[in-house]
Structures are given as C-alpha cells and as structure tokens.
Amino acid sequence: MPKHFLSACAGLLLALMLSCSLPARAQFTSVPRLQPEQLAIVINDAEPNSVRIGAYYRQRRGIPAANVVHVRIPGKPHAISESRFQALKEEIDGQLKPEVQAVLMVWTAPYKVECNAITGAYSLGFDRDQCAKTCAAGRPSPYFNATTPRPYTDLGIRLSMLLPTESVEAAKALIDRGAGAGFQVVPATAYFLQTSEKARNSRAAFFPPPGRIAARKLATKTMQADVLEGVKDIMIYETGMAQVAKLETLGFLPGALADHLTSLGGDLLGDAQMSSLRWLEAGATASYGTVSEPCNYWQKFPNPSVLLKHYVQGNSAIEAYWKSVAWPTQGVFIGEPLAAPYGRR
C-alpha cells in the first residue's frame, strides 16, 4: 500500500481538537439520532435471504411498511456498472418519502459500483473521476463530523449501509445485537492499535488519548500491538492490518464497532485481504472497508476521534460511522444501522 501521510503537525493538531471535545468527566446529554421511521429498507426480491432478513428487520425495529422498498437484482453480482446502479438508485429513490434520512440495503452483494462502494455511490453520487485513479484524493463528504440529525433534509444526503445476508441466522443475531444495545450502559473499552504494518497506521495520529469517559463507563486504550486477544469488553476496535488474528478469542458488546485499515476490506466476498464481514461474524455490530485500492489516506477510513465522539454522544452506528469518514466514496458501510449503545431512550 503506497504511503500518503497527512503532515505530522496538522494531524496532531486535529487530533488534539477532536480529543478536547470529549471531556472525561463531562455529564453527557445524548443528541437526537436516527429513528426507525426515518430509515428505509431495500429488499432484493431475487434473493430469498434478503426477503427473510428484511422481514425480520422490519418487525424487530418497527420500520413502517411505507418505508420498505422492493427491487430485483438477480445473480448476486459483486459489482455493477454505473448505468445499472443509476437505474437502481432511481428505482429506490422513487419509492421514498422525503422524511427518510437513511437507507439500509438488505444484501451482501452488490457492494461495488465500478470502483465506488455502493454506499458511497448511493449517498454521495457515483464518482467517475475516482475510478480514473483510485489512489487520488477523494471527494469530501459534507457530512464529515457534522451535527445535523437530518442529513437528507439539511444536506441532501441519505446515509446508506448494507445488512449482509450470507446467513439468515447470523443476520438475525446481528440485528438482535443492534436492537439490544443501549438498554443498560455497561463497562466497555475502545481499543486503538498501532501495528507493525507501518503503512496501515496513517490514522494513529487521531487515536484518542488513553483515559476514561466516566459518564459512559467507557475506557479508551491506545496500544502498540498487532493483535488484541482474549478481551471481552469491546465497544470499539480499530487497527491497521491486512489480516486481523485472534478474532475468535474476543468478546464484542452489543453495538460494537470494528474495522481495519487495509486496501480491500470492503471487497466483502473477495479473498485478497480480510473481509470486513469477519468483524460481524466475530460479534461486532457494524464495520467499514474500502472496495478498491484507496492508498492509505486517513480521510478514506473512519477517523477514530470523530467516530468515538459521535458514538458516545448518542448517535446511531450509521451516523457515527458516516460522520467519521471524510472521503467515503470507496468505502462500504455494513451492519445494523440503528444500534446506539449510548443513545437516549
């Protein structure tokens, strides 16, 4: 992976600014977050698992019937063309009410639109220029580190996420983890690992300092290690590795977020590097990965301080993850979008 680093001074300054927004002893008041009536679900009628999982999600999360969209994508292609995507987007958008702020696509594939991730293309529009040089800088997201609880109303951006459908039982367990998050705030830890794979440490300057957010019973730990092993209190796990070992030894709490900075984590059904699906299989509730070679710009991956800030303030998983990525065109967001372990009930 080629090296493209933000200058040290600028990186440390932004990290300091973001960290200062998380006073350890603050009495948090949860911010407004995405609600079930603001989320649409898109079911692929050509895939039986999508139909079954979509029905379960609608019931479990109380999604209004008017917010359910049906499409047909036969063959489960990993990637689709720009023209096929534009037709699909028009079909989806034509069935949505203006109050819908986010969309959950109930399928694993397609997850790519040429070099764009399908979530990046859906929410921000297909970026043809990025495909001319995937290692070029990305298009900035107006939603990066934003405060609005209504991204479509205020910014014209409908957030999007995939709910993987490889296994009905695994998907139901994932949905249950998301729905179960937040009924009780439990002691947890956010882990940030700087690894021996130096090119994949480009966001280490943004790791929050070690400490404790007492109001959330959440500790933050920054480590120099290639692996996390045996811990059972994970709320956030961010690292930089092509392959992440020891996932089977870990315990992820309901609502946990986890991702690894590598080139092709978002190639969900590929085998070149570890798929972001492995995080969900290990017990995380949401994750993120890029679908085409992004180079290691920190802006193309979740910014740890931004992600932590918005999640502990009560945002849902889809909101916190989307707010944390400055250039999300190549990144696919996956998981259960409404999970909010620190959200106001």
Burial of 129 (0-12, 13-18, 19+ CB in 10 A): exposed
Per-residue confidence in pLDDT tens, the chain, 345 aa? 444 433 333 343 444 444 444 544 444 567 899 999 999 999 999 999 999 999 999 999 999 999 999 999 999 999 999 999 999 999 999 999 999 999 999 999 999 999 999 999 999 999 999 999 999 999 999 999 999 999 999 999 999 999 999 999 999 999 999 999 988 899 999 999 999 999 999 999 999 999 999 999 999 999 999 999 999 999 999 999 999 999 999 999 999 999 999 999 999 999 999 999 999 999 999 999 999 999 999 999 999 999 999 999 999 999 999 999 999 999 999 999 999 999 986
| DSSP type of residue 86 | H
Alpha helix segments (H runs only) across 209-298: 277-282
HSE, CB side, 13 Å, CA atoms: give it for residue 164.
27
Taking phi first (over 0 means left), then psi (-120 to 50 degrees means alpha), and beta for anything else, what does residue 267 get? beta
Domain ranges within the chain, ordered by starting residue:
8-335
Centre a 10 Å sphere on the Cβ of residue 296 and count the other Cβ atoms it contains.
23
> Can you give the C-alpha Rg of the chain in angstroms?
18
